[in-house]
């Protein structure tokens, strides 16, 4: 028997051998071609068959791909360096112990803010991961290439134009358009005017949202066309929202007048009389739902106008804290349809009146430095928890000495209680690690270990990463 025929004979018999073993039966009788090698002892024969079949399958059998192989391009190098090798195990532990998607998003944004990127063996974004920092656009496009039918699209380092639009993969195109919008708003709008209609609804929505950067009256004609003609309701709604930020929302109609009817403009004070906007008592659940629905369909300028006020006057006169549902609805209205100055004014107003939780809705409209300022002020004056402060501040904050603030003192006291458990306050400690400065993280670790926590406590991982990581990023 030739070697080729013998190899084929062995291969054909392997199915019967593996099946017998799976069923718990002896398989030596199915391997008669190895009769001499297996010997006469049944137990020894099974052991010898295991060794011989393993060697055969490991050396003589090669799996063939089901289709032709594709050669993918190398994973691109990013603009920032990878986390130092010594810190990668700590990064992996944070990723593995905290499964929530937000934790991973916060971590990669924190690293980017400090001037670092993930190692691709530890984390890679998906092609549709819009929550990943723009820094990872090339990796998102690499992921798209890996799952596409073509090995690669043309690559270009040129400035984005309508002519080379198709030369960019989607994530890199969005980043290029955002950069163009910052550098030349009119040119970016012109590119969108030429190419937006050819994209999917989700892509149109994401690209149109880039116009919020340096939004101006020059964008009016284009936004009006999108609001009138786009096929997707959510794209039309976004265009309408951007128009409202420019003070060009729909004319006040019956719904706006009805919404204004839920509120009254009154005066207060004897000598220095000032106006105050107060919510009328809502008597039924149906009225509450109707008021909320009217808020959802309104814009700030029209609502203020229906009350006889300018938007900034409405924010200044609002009776914050008297009706929390109305407060939340107004803040959502300002976040969606208010101009940048009105968003800043509203953030200052709710901070002054202690309505800190409402700041979360405004956070994405505020600059990083403003977010950090409001979070720190709330920690000092209102004693909010670090988790809430992190939602307000984001991951680019660098607060100093937070353990000396009310939330820090409460955390230290709780950790030193006799009934404290090893898993207590893990999320609070993680949030602390995201918002504190590098030096603040070092001091916090000293205080926490002094309070009895072990240096290797996994609850301190984010603080340890912060303290060990060189801060190369731009300060907020």
pLDDT tens by residue, 338-396: 999 999 999 999 999 888 889 999 999 999 999 999 999 999 988 899 999 999 999 88
For residues 313 and 257, the answer to whether their CB atoms sit within 8 Å is: no
pLDDT category, 35, cuts 50, 70, 90? confident
Comparing 62 with 161, which gets the higher pLDDT?
161
Q: Is the pLDDT of residue 250 over 90?
A: no
pLDDT category, 1, cuts 50, 70, 90? very low
pLDDT category, 272, cuts 50, 70, 90? low
Task: State the angle between helix axes of 438-450 and 461-468 in degrees (0 to 180), rounded to the nearest 10.
Answer: 140
Q: Is the pLDDT of residue 476 over 70?
A: no
Task: State the angle between helix axes of 220-229 and 185-195 in degrees (0 to 180), rounded to the nearest 10.
Answer: 20
For residues 137 and 174, the answer to whether their CB atoms sit within 8 Å is: yes
- Torsion sign, CA atoms 63, 65, 70, 74: negative
Q: Which residues contact 342 (CB under 8 A, 6 or more apart)?
A: 300, 311, 312, 315, 334
Percent of the chain beyond pLDDT 90? 67
Comparing 307 with 100, which gets the higher pLDDT?
307
Residue whose token pair is 């690690």? 433
Q: What are phi and psi of 276, to 5 degrees?
A: -140, 135
| Cα 388 to Cα 202, 265, 394, 435, distances in angstroms | 30, 33, 10, 11
Q: Is the pLDDT of residue 462 over 50?
A: yes
Q: Is the pLDDT of residue 5 over 50?
A: no
CA atoms of 383 and 397, how far apart (whole Å): 18
User: Which residues is 265 bridged to in the sheet?
Assistant: 277
The residue among 51, 9, 81 whose CA lies nearest residue 471 is: 81
- Mean pLDDT within 78-105: 91
Q: Is the pLDDT of residue 65 over 70?
A: no
Q: Is the pLDDT of residue 271 over 80?
A: no
- Mean pLDDT within 403-428: 91
> What residues does each domain of the chain span?
3-59, 85-147, 165-245
Task: State the angle between helix axes of 386-393 and 368-381 in degrees (0 to 180), rounded to the nearest 10.
Answer: 160
Q: Which residues of 43-77 are buried (b: 16+ CB within 10 A; e: fewer)?
A: eebbebbeebbeeeeeeeeeeeeeeeeeeeeeeee
Q: What is the pLDDT of residue 37?
A: 86
For residues 31 and 20, the answer to whether their CB atoms sit within 8 Å is: no
379: exposed, middle or buried (C-beta count within 10 Å: 0-12, 13-18, 19+)?
buried
- Each residue of 140-172: pLDDT tens digit? 999 988 888 765 555 566 789 999 998 899 999
pLDDT category, 2, cuts 50, 70, 90? very low
């Amino acid at each position: 028997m030739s070697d080729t025929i013998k190899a084929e004979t062995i291969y054909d018999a392997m199915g019967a051998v593996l099946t017998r073993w799976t069923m718990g039966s002896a398989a030596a009788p199915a391997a008669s071609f190895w009769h001499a090698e297996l010997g006469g002892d049944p137990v020894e024969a099974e052991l010898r068959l295991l060794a011989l079949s393993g060697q055969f399958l490991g050396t003589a059998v090669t799996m063939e791909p089901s289709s032709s192989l594709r050669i993918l391009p190398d994973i691109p190098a990013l603009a920032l360096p990878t986390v130092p090798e010594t810190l990668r195990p700590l990064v992996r532990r944070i990723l593995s112990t905290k499964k929530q998607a937000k934790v991973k998003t916060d971590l990669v944004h924190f690293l980017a803010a400090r001037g670092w990127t993930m190692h691709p063996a530890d984390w890679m974004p998906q092609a549709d991961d819009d929550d990943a920092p723009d820094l990872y656009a090339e990796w998102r496009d690499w992921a798209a290439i890996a799952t596409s039918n073509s090995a690669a699209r043309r690559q270009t380092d040129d400035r984005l134009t309508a002519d080379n639009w198709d030369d960019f993969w989607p994530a890199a195109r969005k980043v290029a358009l955002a950069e163009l919008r910052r550098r030349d708003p009119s040119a970016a709008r012109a590119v969108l005017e030429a190419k937006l209609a050819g994209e999917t609804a989700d892509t149109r929505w994401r690209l149109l949202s880039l116009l919020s950067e340096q939004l101006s009256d020059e964008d009016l004609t284009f936004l009006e066309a999108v609001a009138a003609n786009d096929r997707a309701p959510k794209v039309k709604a976004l265009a309408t929202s951007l128009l409202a930020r420019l003070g060009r929302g729909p004319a006040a109609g019956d719904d706006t007048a009805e919404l204004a009817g839920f509120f009254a403009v009154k005066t207060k004070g004897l000598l220095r009389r000032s106006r105050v906007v107060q919510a009328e008592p809502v008597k039924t659940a149906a009225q509450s739902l109707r008021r909320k629905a009217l808020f959802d369909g309104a814009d700030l300028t029209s609502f203020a106008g229906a009350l006889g006020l300018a938007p900034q006057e409405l924010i200044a006169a609002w009776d914050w804290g008297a009706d929390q549902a109305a407060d939340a609805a107004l803040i959502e209205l300002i976040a969606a349809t208010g101009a940048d100055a009105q968003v800043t004014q509203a953030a200052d107003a709710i901070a002054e009146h202690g309505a800190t939780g409402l700041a979360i809705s405004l956070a994405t409209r505020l600059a990083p430095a403003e977010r950090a300022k409001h979070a720190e002020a709330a920690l000092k004056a209102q004693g909010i928890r670090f988790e809430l402060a992190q939602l307000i501040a984001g991951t680019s904050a660098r607060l100093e000495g937070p353990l000396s603030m009310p939330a820090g003192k409460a955390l230290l006291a709780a950790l030193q209680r006799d009934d404290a458990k090893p898993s207590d306050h893990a999320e609070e400690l993680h949030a602390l690690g995201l918002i504190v400065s590098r030096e603040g993280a070092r001091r916090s670790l000293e205080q926490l270990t002094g309070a009895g926590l072990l240096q290797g406590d996994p609850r301190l991982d984010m603080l340890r990463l912060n303290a060990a990581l060189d801060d190369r990023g731009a300060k907020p």
